[in-house]
Structure 1
Amino acid sequence: MSNGTKESTAKRRVLVIGAGGVGTMVCVALERSGKAAVTAVLRSNYEQVVKHGFEIESIDHGKLSSWRPSAVVNAVPQQDPNAPFDYVVITMKNIPEVNNIPKIISPAITPNHTTIVLFQNGLYIEPPILEAFPSNVVLSAPTYIGAHEHNGHVTHTDHDMFNIGAFHNKSLDASFERAKLEEFADIYNGSGVVEAQVVDDIVLYRWRKVLWNGIFNPMCAITQLDSATVRLFGGEHSVIRPGMAEMVAIAKADGYELGDSVIEEIIESTPLESAFRPSMLVDVDKGNPMEAEVILGNALRVARAKGVETPILDTTYRFLKLIQARLLAARGLIVEPKELPTTDIL
């Protein structure tokens, strides 16, 4: 057998950083494809999973008892020149005030080899990764999967479907990036029960997701109302639809036409009978810092750069930053300022 054949049939080495609900289901999809050997980096659930494995109830994969990926570790491993990771997948929350993602993943990245895959919320989260790892392919995958994990028990209720694309690295050939993109999607889809859809311009799909995430998430976190109640109590026409109109205008200024019917489409994608507490509200409930910057802050930075007026979103961001400050201070991550702080956006 030739070396080329060995390389094409060998399992790809994949590291998944952040095996909560979403991360665990990413591990399951990749491992069950038979095309990847997955190492999962766990934190609070490490001892539980090492001893007992994951207990999973999945709408896609069924019930899995005592399930583990190929390897479980409690820290990001140092890259091995003789057996480098082919893919490093990040599913941990992206909170710049708390986590320096490039610094966290750096030990596992082999220059010119490892492809970095971002299963994270937010808009324009890729440039800091490209800056830190200029010789590596970066894939981006805004996901809509619904999965929750608690001490090794995972409930997966919404189908695993997402778009994935390469965020172009100008120092790399686009055909090489495309090959890595298609290989990863092929691996992910290998189990036959999930669907990763390859797209040409992933930024468009990040704008579409932030149209919901950048409005509903902050509004629910600020009001402490779920996705349906915030609409029923008058928020839909006073803040949600106007806020979405501002987000559509930012996207248009950035070169992305989301369509005349997109606001109606996005709102109707969350029917009143499907009320739930979005991730930012869940974070507030738990006293955890939120993904405020990557979801709303980054969109407003584009607005400022493009000269788009966003009074609804500006006010929303101000309130969101106050809540974030309280959450960070409660964790001892910031101290009470001695003088009035400023913002780099507003």
Structure 2
Amino acid sequence: MRFLFIGAGGIGCYYGARLQQQGHQVVYLARGEHLRALQDNGLSINHPELSFNQPVEALDDKSLQRRYHCDNFDLILMTLKAGATASVLDQMADWLNTAETPVLSLQNGVDNEPLIAQALGRHRTLGGLAVRIGGHIIAPGKIEATGPAQVVMGSWPNHQSEDIFPAATLDTFATAFNDAGIPTQLSHDIRHELWRKLIINNGVNPLSALTRLDTRTLTSHPAFGKTVYRMMQEVAAVAPADDVILSQTDVDEMYQLICHFDAIKTSMLVDKEKGRPLELGGISGAVISRAIKLNIEVPNTELIHALLLQQE
């Protein structure tokens, strides 16, 4: 199959390498020094279960649009920061709208799929989660990743909706992913799964950036661990704004998952250390905007969000 990864960071490069190693054609959309390193020296990935050092096809957006048509790909995967989704969809609108190629989001937050559906149609939109994976660029062309790196995906917003991507066709993508060593399962309600992941992201991402602590240190700390849990509860409180119901069980399951997962630096902490913009809008910002809509308080999320904005 033919895959395009829009966003060649730790997550996109890891999954792309897995697919490429299985014999699929993979193209990476990248920029800057990372793009030049990928073109000149190939891609290097260090993962406990994957050692990858191979040439790859990496292009900037203009070269991509000159060299390929949208229908040259079977699946386009969005693996860039949530804050860049709207601008990329706008910049590539003419190219993306020349075909019916489906687009799978593997990004943080709950606002990416609505943007894709608005731009390209619900019938081309696939929601997805990269689960239990930590992946970062440690140097141009070099990725360090950890975790079982699972994927959950489904037609947006759920399989009961109208005008969605055919659920049966998803099996072909899931099979390709699983055969490539990417543990993948399909969800009949991917919007609900995305909100469950937001529980974790809001719980640890902003606080880790503020404290500069990894996930294990946060959750085992007597005060920070409580704050993590409260910020998770605040996600459940605002989910009804998107017609999603998260139970106390959902919160407890996500809290136990992050407590027992490997100690990792969150993506927001890595961005903080590297002086890059933080993905606040897609995580804590999404919680706060829903709280305003519902006229409820999310004091822990608001405080950590405000402190990070002040530092920014």
TM-score (norm 1): 0.77
Matched, 1:26 2:29: no
Rounded to whole Å, the distance in 1 between the matches of 2:261 and 2:58 is 39
Q: 1:107 to 1:32 in 2, by over 3 A?
A: farther
Stretch of structure 1 that moved more, 155-164 or 108-117: 108-117
Per the TM alignment, residue 241 of structure 1 is displaced from its structure 2 partner at its CA by: 2.3
Measure, in 1, the Cα distance between the counterparts of 2:262 and 2:286: 28
1:142 alignment counterpart = 129
**Residues 233 and 272 of structure 1: CA distance in aligned 2, closer, same or farther (over 3 Å):** farther
Aligned residues: 305
| Superposed displacement of residue 294, structure 1 | 0.9
Contiguous gaps of at least 5 residues in structure 1: 1-10, 327-346
Q: Read off the aligned partner of 1:56 and give its amino acid letter.
A: I
Q: What does residue range 1-346 of structure 1 map to in structure 2 within 5 Å? A: 11=1, 13-34=2-23, 36-43=24-31, 44-60=33-49, 62-65=50-53, 67-69=54-56, 71-76=57-62, 77-78=64-65, 80=68, 84-96=72-84, 100-106=87-93, 108-134=95-121, 137-144=124-131, 145-149=133-137, 150-168=139-157, 173-174=163-164, 176-191=165-180, 193-231=181-219, 232=221, 234-237=223-226, 239-252=227-240, 254-271=242-259, 274-323=262-311, 326=312
CA distance in 1, matches of 2:261, 2:130: 22
**Structure 1 residues 273, 301: closer, same or farther in 2, change over 3 A?**
closer
Other structure's SS at 1:122 match:
coil
Asked whether the 8 Å contact 2:157–2:191 carries over to 1, the reply is: no
CA distance in 1, matches of 2:241, 2:43: 45
Q: Is the 8 A contact 1:78 1:107 kept in 2?
A: no
Structure 1 distance, partners of 2:71, 2:250, is 46
Larger helix share, 1 or 2: 2
What's the CA shift for 1:16?
Answer: 1.0
Query: Would the aligned equivalents of 1:94 and 1:120 in 2 still touch at CA under 8 Å?
Result: yes
Answer yes or no: is the 8 Å Cα contact 1:135–1:171 preserved in 2: no
CA-to-partner distance for each residue in 1:304-342, whole Å, 9 max, x for gaps? 22333322222233223333xx2xxxxxxxxxxxxxxxx
Indicate the percent of aligned positions where both proteins have the same amino acid.
Answer: 27
* Deviation (angstroms), 1:282: 1.6
Change (3 A) 1:199 1:53: same
Residue 297 of structure 1 aligns to a residue whose secondary structure is: helix
* CA displacement, residues 37-64 of structure 1 (integer Å, 9 cap, x when unaligned): 211122222222223222223334x322
- Shift, 1:99, TM fit: 6.8
Separation of aligned partners in 2, 1:109 and 1:82: 6
CA distance in 1: counterparts of 2:254 and 2:70, whole angstroms: 47
Which of the pair has more CA radius of gyration? Answer: 1
Q: 8 Å contact 2:127–2:157 — kept in the other structure? A: no
Q: Could you tell me which amino acid in structure 2 is paired with residue 219 of structure 1?
A: L
> What is the CA RMSD across the aligned residues, in angstroms?
2.9
Q: What residue identity is the alignment partner of 1:294?
A: G
Write the letter of the residue equivalent to 1:75.
Answer: D
Question: Larger deviation: 244-253 or 165-174?
Answer: 165-174
What secondary structure does 2:135 align onto?
A: strand
CA distance in 1, matches of 2:185, 2:292: 32
Alpha-carbon separation, structure 1, partners of 2:96 and 2:278? 27
Q: Which amino acid aligns with 1:58?
A: H
Post-superposition offset of 1:90: 1.3
Q: Per-residue deviation at 1:131?
A: 1.7
Closer, same or farther: CA 68–140 of 1 in aligned 2, 3 Å: farther
Q: How far off its partner does 1:139 sit?
A: 1.0
TM-score by length of 2: 0.85
